[in-house]
Chain A
Amino acid sequence: MKLKYILLIIFTGSLLSSFAQKYITKTGTIEIYSETPLFIIEGVNKKVASILNTETGEVVSSTLIRSFKFEEALVEEHFNENYLEPHKFPKSIFKGKITDYKKIDFSKDGKYDIMIEGKLTIHGVTNYIKEKGSLVIKNGEISAKSDFPVSLKAYGVKVEPAYKKAIKDDILLKIHFDYKPYNK
C-alpha cells in the first residue's frame, strides 16, 4: 500500500517536471542600427538561437558574427575584417535571466514589460547588462523583444580615426525572438 503511494508520488512528480517548460528559437533576429549625418549602418542577423526556461526565467542566446548581413558588401566586409573580427571571436553569447519572470503567467495570452539582466559577450569581451524588454504570449508561443544600445568601446571594438565621425560609439541593437515550446 505504501509502495503504491510512493510510486504515485514519483509518477506525479515526473509528470509535473515534464511540464517544466523550455522555449526555443533558432530563427531569432538581431538588427544593428547606427545613424550619423554621414552614414547609416543597418545590418541584420536572422540566425540567432535562444532558449528560454519559463520556470527559472533563464535565457541563453547565441549567434555567429558571420551571419550578420548588410545592404552594402563593403560595410559587411569592414564589419567582419576590421571591427568584429569573427576569425578571432566567431560568436556572441548572452546568458542571463528575466528578473521579473515570476509575474508572468506563461500559460495564457498576455503582454508584459520585462527586465532582462545578464552577461553579454561580444568581440571576446563580456559585460553585465540590464535592459528593458517586452513579452507577448499568444497561443502558447512567446514573442520577446528588446532594443538597447551597446557601446563599441565597452566591447573593445576599435573604430579607425577616419571613421570616428561616421560611426557612433553607441550602436542600437534590436532583438526579436519568437519562441516555440521545446519538448525534449
Chain B
Amino acid sequence: MTMKKGLKIFLIIAVLGLVTGLSTVYYVFNKPHRNVEDETPSYTMDATALYSEYSNDEEASNLKFADKVIQVNGEIAELSIDGYQVSVVLNDEMEGVSCALDSVTIDNHKSVIDALKLGDKITLKGKCDGFDMIMGVVFTRCFIIE
C-alpha cells in the first residue's frame, strides 16, 4: 500500500517535471519578439532633435538611445513603399530619422500607409538601431502612432 502510494507520488512528480521541462524548452525556442507596440517609449522627441544629438556624439547617443523604444515625430521627407517594405524618412532625406515599419502595422494600417505623402506630419514609435552615414538615425519595427 505505502509502496503504491510512493510510486504514485513519484509518477506525479515525474510527469510534472517533464511538463515544466518541455514547456520551458518550448517557451525558450518560441519566445515572443519584443513587443515594441505596447512598450512605453523611453524617449519622446522630435526627429530633428534626435538627429542632432546623434550627429554631435554618436557613441554617447548609442548608449542613450540604441535598442530603446523611442517615439519620434517629424515631417515625411521621403517615402518608399514596396510590398512589405515601407520606409519613412523624417525631416530630411539624409539628415533625419529613417524608419522601417513593422509588418504588423503595415497589415493593420494599409489605408493609412497608402495615403501618406511627403510633408505629412507623423508620429512613429520604434526601436532605435543606431546611426548610419547615409541613412541617418535608423529605426526598425516602427508603428504609426498618428
Binding site for B on A (CB under 8 A): 24, 26-27, 46-47, 49-51, 60, 62-64, 66-67, 69, 72-74, 76-77, 86-87, 90-91
Contact = CB atoms under 8 A, between A and B. Distances in A.
Interface residues of B, number: 29
B134 A91 contact: no
Interface in B26-41: 28-34
Interface of B: 28-34, 62, 66-67, 78, 80, 82, 85, 87, 89, 98, 100, 127, 129-135, 138, 140-141
Contact of B134 (A46, A62, A86): A62
Contact of A24 (B89, B127, B134): B134
A86 B127 CA distance: 14
A60 B141 CA distance: 25
A87 to B, nearest CB: 7
Nearest to A93: B133
Given A26-B134, A27-B82, A86-B130, A69 B28 contact: no
B63 to A, nearest CB: 9
Contact of A46 (B78, B85, B130, B132): B85
A64 B87 contact: no
